[in-house]
Amino acid sequence: MATNIVTNWFGNIVSHPSVIVDANSVDDIVAVMKDPVKYPSPVRAVGSNHSTAACGVADGGTLIRMKMNQILNIGATSLTVQAGALHLDMAKALEAQNLQFYVNTEIGSLSAGSASCAGTKDASFPGEYGQVGSYVTGVKMILPSGDQLEVTEDAQPDLMQQVRSSYGLFGIIHEVTYKIRPLTPMHVHHTTYSLEDFIAALPDLKALGYSIMYYMFPFENKIAVEFRKYNPGATGDPNHAAWALRNHIWGTSGPKFGHDTEQNVSIPSIRYSIIDAFNAAWRLQLEYIVTSDYTIPPDQIIQYPAVSDDSRYTFSLFAFAEDEFPAALTAFYKFCNDYYTQKGYRSNLLYVGYRIAQDQKALLSYSYDGTVMTIDPVSTANRGWDDFLVAYNQFCVSLNGKPLLNQTPGLTAAILQGAYGDKLKTLAATRKQYDPQDRLLNDYFRQLLS
């Protein structure tokens, strides 16, 4: 049987499935599940394949590319879609009816199926969650037996909690229902601090009631903080230009600049001086242009090309308990500078992070035990990136960081066990219940969940 080659969106994770199936209907998925000879294991399903870990790899097995992308129903408080529907497309459809997601996360190519069973991240608004799947209230999936299973938060809350962390290991999700809300004006502004001033101000900043995202610059000892708050009393017309500029720099011109500088400037001291100057200009634009009392939340979502190019970037993530974050952040700035001194490597982009509220909607939620703040390196995968991530993982584990199975490259079973403990046993037992023959279990999850 011929072997195909499929990569994730960034291009650094390679899958060699024996069979590729474009699922245009539920019957296409059922046919795969019921014929293990024609469609060998492991069976994995992907949407835009944007994960930075090997969740969708189906070496020697069957890769289902989810083409079912229709919006099935928009109600006053709920949205139902097929699993291949993309976050940005859904957000635009909601906006047309003066509605919005609770979490308008950055990656517009996030598919509904992935959002419903895998981890995501976004800075939480007061009283809300920061993970897209926490507002998924129901799914329909095809089990390895070929039967359909419907799970809803109202009828099966414990199972729904596990589904949100199932990563396609229970069944292939083909329909998703979200909880949604009215479209609401949103204020945004940015402020740059030194590391020390940010840590000193952090208790007061949290008390202000904004959502908090931040851009970290360890080699300049600075941090630029993005503050968002709903502003229902805003008047006039919404400012669309603020987020358009941010999205262009963050999603296109910034990574392209880092990539090209890496390619064309061979002397590290000059190369990174150029990148630091670009980052300084980026902070000024955040402070003086990406600011408004009236923006709309869907404008935050970035439209990435279906096929990545020289503007692509990749990333990782670990989350830290909020009360431990100041020490972790200080140590991280030192870690980055020490690593550059010792190894000659630093990212050619920057680092970001989010404040994410306590959230027990998913069994493997990284903020299950309390509010967390994350440290997320970002890079075009310049030479030395993979080795840096190994050291970064070790650093984060030493400070009790929690990873994401789909957004933290280089995970091991030991790292995962240390972060999530007995929750993994609960997930494994349910997975075995629905997939006793390990039809959906690829080598990545077999190694992590062993």
Which letter, b or e, does each residue of 58-95 get, where b requires 16 or more Cβ atoms within 10 Å of its Cβ?
Answer: bbbbbbbbbebbeeeebeeeebbbbbbbbbbbbbebbb
pLDDT for 3: 73
For residues 273 and 398, membership in a common domain is answered with yes
Same domain, 176 and 215: no
Say if residue 301 is in the same domain as residue 360.
yes
CA distance 337 to 317: 19
Q: 219 and 172 in one domain?
A: no
Residues 190 and 142 in one domain: no
Q: Is there a domain that residue 313 lies in?
A: yes
From 167, 183, 199, the end of a domain falls on 183
Q: Is residue 296 part of a domain?
A: yes
Residues 172 and 247 in one domain: no
Residue with tokens 């080659």: 5
Within a domain: 375: yes
Last residue of a domain, one of 158, 183, 208: 183
CATH code for the domain of 364? 3.40.462
> Which residues lie below 8 Å from residue 224, measured CB to CB, with a gap of 6+?
190, 191, 192, 193, 214, 215, 217, 283, 286, 287
42 preceded by a cis bond (ω within 30 of 0): yes
Any domain includes 86: yes
Regarding whether 169 and 79 lie in a shared domain, the answer is yes
CA atoms of 404 and 301, how far apart (whole Å): 21
The residue out of 183, 205, 239 marking a domain boundary is 183
The segments of the chain whose pLDDT lies below 50 read 1
Number of domain units in the chain: 2
Do 162 and 178 fall into the same domain?
A: yes
120/165 same-domain check: yes
Domain residues for the domain of 150 are 71-183
> Do 200 and 316 have their domain in common?
yes
In a domain, 254, yes or no: yes
Are 76 and 103 part of one and the same domain? yes
What does the pLDDT read at residue 1? 47
Evaluate whether residue 35 is within a structural domain.
Answer: no
Q: What's the CATH number where 129 sits?
A: 3.30.465.10
192 in the same domain as 287? yes
CB atoms within 10 A of CB 2: 5
pLDDT (0 to 100) of residue 450:
81
Query: Would you say residue 7 lies in a domain?
Result: no
Q: What is the pTM of this model?
A: 0.96
